[in-house]
């Protein structure tokens, strides 16, 4: 089954990946401002995207109680943020590392 999620999922996943272990363990709703601050201070580089991720949703645990899902291969298609806005098109394979799935 190929699932296309909403455009904001790209940013949500990027922010969730930047969240600390305490957020991942409690599965709280992500705080975009706090996640942005963490990403800005991190030594790693981040890319802000707006688009969709296509992947096999059957590979992801959605019950919130089971063990974390192993990384899932996905395809991102959308636009990358530049100083002029979301102007650069992008379509790349990515690895999703889902540590928390919430209802929000």
pLDDT at site 66:
57
Q: Residue 35: pLDDT above 60? A: yes
Can you give the residue ranges of every domain in the chain? Answer: 2-96
Q: Residue 62: pLDDT above 70? A: no
pLDDT at site 79:
95
Both tokens assigned to 99: 């540590």
């Amino acid at each position: 089954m190929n699932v296309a999620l909403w455009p904001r999922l790209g940013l949500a996943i990027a922010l969730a990946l930047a969240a600390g272990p305490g957020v991942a363990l409690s599965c709280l709703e992500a705080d975009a401002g706090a996640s942005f601050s963490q990403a800005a201070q991190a030594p790693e580089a981040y890319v802000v995207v707006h688009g969709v991720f296509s992947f096999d949703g059957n590979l992801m645990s959605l019950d919130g109680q089971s063990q974390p899902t192993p990384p899932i291969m996905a395809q991102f298609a959308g636009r990358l943020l530049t100083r002029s806005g979301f102007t650069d098109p992008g379509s790349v394979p990515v690895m999703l590392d889902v540590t928390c799935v919430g209802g929000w």
